[in-house]
Structure 1
Amino acid sequence: MFLVAGDLLTSSNMSDDNQVKCYKFKVKGMHCASCELLLESKLSSLPGVRKVDAKLGSNMIEIHTTSSSSAEELASAISKVVEKDGYLIDQQLYKTNQFDEWFYSVPLSVFFILVYAVVVRAGLFQSDVTNLDERLQVFVLGIGASLSSCMALVGGIVFSISSALDGQPPGKRYLYHASFHLGRLIGFFFLGGLIGVVGSVLKPSAGFSVVLNLLVVFVFLILGISQIFPQSFSKFQFRLPKLFGRLVVKLKVSSPQSSFLIGALTFFIPCGFTNSIQIKALESGSFLSSAIIMFTFALGTLPVLAMISFASTNLSERFNNGIFKKTIGILILALAFYNLILVLNRI
């Protein structure tokens, strides 16, 4: 997910009175606002850390700490924290074999694209509300999101629910987790529907629909490229303000109802995958169609998040490698060009 460079870029005393020091480190691999939130959440737990500010645009992380540790010791502590979640440190960067990643990711991508094309050509399960082609795209993106760093923050919320219920009877733990996932599905349905209502108000002409579709294509392109080359294109992503995600993360689980509410509010966690589907839902211009689009996306993320809840398994860590990221990136780029062709045919 991330590569935290071990070299300290700058170090300065903020206050000699309370001995608070500010360290800035280069961070490689950030590609969405969820990466910022996840880094801030993880590194805030380090001893002596007063404040953590991760910045996607500059790929920097700023740590304010009262610790007497040197820059090198702090870098080592950071490495230990990120390695727990399958992250890499700079020394491991040179072990990455780019040729092997492309060697496996390209054939895998071609295979999935062919499967997708066969299913779409078969024309199965068409409906009047939204067609199979669109549902498949959204569902596939949901699966990809659940195995990427974009869902790591949501997975962290799921783990926090587990921690809050540590020692409680299994039935109670299952109830809270089920409430969270139910809240996420229902929240995405109704909040997604509201996006469609907004779209119906903002949609005065066919030209506006084309513009929104082109925006979806653009977001898909940036999202796909950022998965393949995260360092180069992360700053160009569309995203909601990080404040939304921070508010959701700070919510505490005190009852099944609060767990349900937190699940619904994950709709507002900044993530490139989620934001791209939200734009697609906006273009639909109707409550039901938009609601189904967002519900389908949430449904795609459900299997992995459910496994995190009920089996304490974080699949995103196991798939956190260059081969998987490049495969997902290529698939998203394929969807971007496919949608571009559809848009051009409508002009």
Structure 2
Amino acid sequence: MAIFDPLGLISNVLIYLKILFQEIWRAGIGWDDLIPESLNEKWEKWLDILPKVQNVSIPRGYRSLTQLGPQTNIQLHTFVDASLSGFAAVTYLRFEQGSTVECAIVGAKTRVAPLKFLSIPRLELQAAVIGVRLADRIMKSLSFKVHKRFFWTDFRDVLCWIQSDHRRYSQFVAFRISEILETTEAADWGYKRSKENVADDATKWQGVPDLTENSRWFKGPSFLWEFRSNWPSNPYREDTTDEELRANIFYHQAKPAPVINVEDYSSWKRLLRATTTALRAAHNIRQNSENGKRITGPLSAEELQQATIYLYRLASGCFPGRDRNSQRRI
């Protein structure tokens, strides 16, 4: 409760504690219960890191070598990443003036993965969403103009969703891609390998995080300090993905064939009697299967009337079985 980090500058450290609290919650441990040894080891590991946070020092200004002016190219770079434990976004400002380049962290946002299981693709998409929200808040708070925004992810499916028709995918994906594209363009998004993605420092702990002033978490990845012509080539190739593809159901509806072909009869009387006989035969077949009473003997007036109604409906395109009321009357 004593940690105050509204900008998320040390969120790469705090997310470890958030994940630990979630693991304790999942274990169903009460407030007065002792935690298991495995969780206690993680807690002691975080306590060992906590004193190092007191020595973290970050310059108040974003730049010290460049000046604000028409000759300075200002860019905002946002890196997003996710793991099964949580997802994160971190944003940097990059200033380029002549032969001078400098970068500085602006803010970061981390969240623990929800208790309800989500797949890695969905978590990566969630990371992209919080990255867009973080970048938008930063843009609104800055007093100078940013010329270009970049968003970086190491998950190819997210790029496929952004650069394709998102309506082809599930509602979970479609709604979030729609939010992403409200404030960004598909061209703003690019691919970087995990080793170049700074957000990995928050989502994938591989030991004690580097909290020195010159760490890549505070300064940004090394390629941002180089001219754009020297940036690593983008290995991503535009493609589509079947991940979260909306299910399509195809069905074939067979048109029922009429009982009688009216073109085979030259008079109404012969057509009516043939139709009545066919309808009686169909009725008797159903009765045989249901052990019911069969109709025999000469054709009755009621049967002739039902056959007449059938022929009228046949002429108007209404077949038995397609209308419940007509089927009941027949």
The TM-score, its normalising length taken from structure 1, stands at 0.21
